Amino acid sequence: MDYIRKMVVCLICFAAMATVICIRVSADPSAENIVTNAKAAILIDSQSGRVLYSKNPERKLPMASTTKIMSAVLTLESGEIDRKFTVDPEAIKVEGSSMGLLEGDVVSKRILCYGMLLPSGNDAANAAACSVSGSVEDFVNLMNKKAAELGLSGTHFVTPSGLDDYTDDHYSTASDMAKLTAYALKNSDFREICSTKSISLDLGGRSLWLNNTNKMLSSCEGVIGVKTGFTDKAGRCLVTACERGGVSLICVTLGDSTDWIDHEKLFEYGFSKLESVTIGGDVYGIPFAGGPNHAKLRAPEISVSLEKGESARIEKRVILPQFVYENERGESVGKVIYYLDGGVIGIVDLIAE
């Protein structure tokens, strides 16, 4: 009984993303060939947050330009992303990688996000920070506030670009970067931009061609982003997302000299473990108040990612009132909660047809 109780607790933690559980890859024959040089790494199911592989997932490390995931998210969430304005001439005076902004260029927040996520422009990150918050310092405060809201307890930002050679207070964890990426990919604009291989942009009088530094967009089946990073202090950092057969995975490596190879191996491992399973679609009957007729309640279908064989253990709990009123047609009047070994894996509304 103690063993069963421990297993249930672990599964509940998976559902809530409250705990990171390390799976020792060496214990699984299908993962014997996975060896990573990363200082920290993690592979998760982006839908549930389920951890499939991890190495030092909570170790605080510099994350270089993967920082720009947060900068781009905040820029896109600030609104009016297609309004044109002239870049701040001081903001674009920055070292390191650049999208090639010049004084007098006319841009939009969307354009600056392309500049951040494709060529990893530090000039784009600073220009975006000033456009959103008025200054780099105020934008960094916004970054740390958002990190706290998302529960990224192992993360602290000092710069919107990730150019952090002058400080040791700019850091994150592989686990936090995976959570941030799962959140970012829910934004359709972010998703479109980070998956773009190349683009030509109009900067108000001149055009600029940008190429994405993430070569996995072309070399690995199903990759949809997300961000590369490198500094001498951080080493090579990489965050990628990949989708195959209805399963969506996120991989993060920090300080990894063989990051491209490691991400491909981890994705192959992850997709060998998970499959997309469709649940729901059931129809329930419930009486109308004060009459003999019944309403039909339909549970919409949803897809969940499970290890092969787990679908046979799915259980559900139906929550319904005793009756519905005529004017509730088309409204949600109940719920179905789906469980796997005691952990919640999905919740859907029951709609009165």
At 162-198, the pLDDT tens digits run 998 889 999 999 999 999 999 999 999 999 999 999 9
Query: For residues 278 and 303, is the Cβ–Cβ distance under 8 A?
Result: yes
Name the residue with tokens 């969940």: 304
Q: Is residue 331 part of a domain?
A: yes
Paired tokens of 235: 């080493």
- Best CA proximity match to 337, nearest among 328, 347, 327: 347
In angstroms, rounded to a whole number, what is the distance separating the alpha carbons of residues 317 and 58?
A: 35
Paired tokens of 319: 């929550």
- Domain-ending residue, one of 249, 276, 303: 276
Q: Is residue 334 part of a domain?
A: yes
Looking at residues 219-243, what average pLDDT do you find? 97
120 flagged as catalytic: yes
Q: Is residue 55 part of a domain?
A: no
**229: pLDDT strictly greater than 50:** yes
| Secondary structure (3-state) at 218 | helix
Query: For residues 284 and 300, is the Cβ–Cβ distance under 8 A?
Result: no
pLDDT tier for residue 327 given thresholds of 50, 70 and 90: low
Query: For residues 109 and 132, is the Cβ–Cβ distance under 8 A?
Result: yes
How many structural domains does the chain have?
2
Paired tokens of 5: 């109780």
248 and 111 within one domain: yes
Q: Is residue 85 part of a domain?
A: yes
* Of 55, 68, 265, 273, catalytic: 68
286: domain CATH number is 2.60.410.10
- Domain-ending residue, one of 256, 276, 296: 276
**274: pLDDT strictly greater than 70:** yes
Q: Is residue 57 part of a domain?
A: no
Paired tokens of 219: 């070399």
65 flagged as catalytic: yes
3-state helix, strand, coil in the chain (%, to 5): 30, 30, 40
**298: pLDDT strictly greater than 90:** no
DSSP letter string over 229-253? Answer: EEETTTEEEEEEEEEETTEEEEEEE
In angstroms, rounded to a whole number, what is the distance separating the alpha carbons of residues 157 and 16?
A: 25
323 and 236 within one domain: no
308 and 240 within one domain: no
**What local confidence, expressed as pLDDT, does residue 325 receive?**
79
Give the range of the structural domain holding residue 340, as residue numbers without chain letter. Answer: 280-352
**Helices of type H across the chain:** 2-16, 68-77, 109-117, 122-133, 136-149, 174-184, 188-194, 216-219, 259-273
In angstroms, rounded to a whole number, what is the distance separating the alpha carbons of residues 56 and 113?
A: 30
Paired tokens of 22: 């390390």
* Of 71, 120, 131, 175, catalytic: 120
pLDDT, tens only, 3-62: 334 433 343 333 333 333 233 333 344 555 678 999 999 999 999 899 999 999 999 999
**pTM for the model:** 0.85
**What local confidence, expressed as pLDDT, does residue 32 receive?**
55
323 and 237 within one domain: no
265 flagged as catalytic: no
- Domain-ending residue, one of 276, 302, 337: 276
Chain mean pLDDT for the chain: 89
Q: Is residue 45 part of a domain?
A: no
123 and 99 within one domain: yes
* Of 65, 97, 172, 248, catalytic: 65
128: phi then psi, degrees, rounded to nearest 5? -65, -40
**285: pLDDT strictly greater than 90:** no
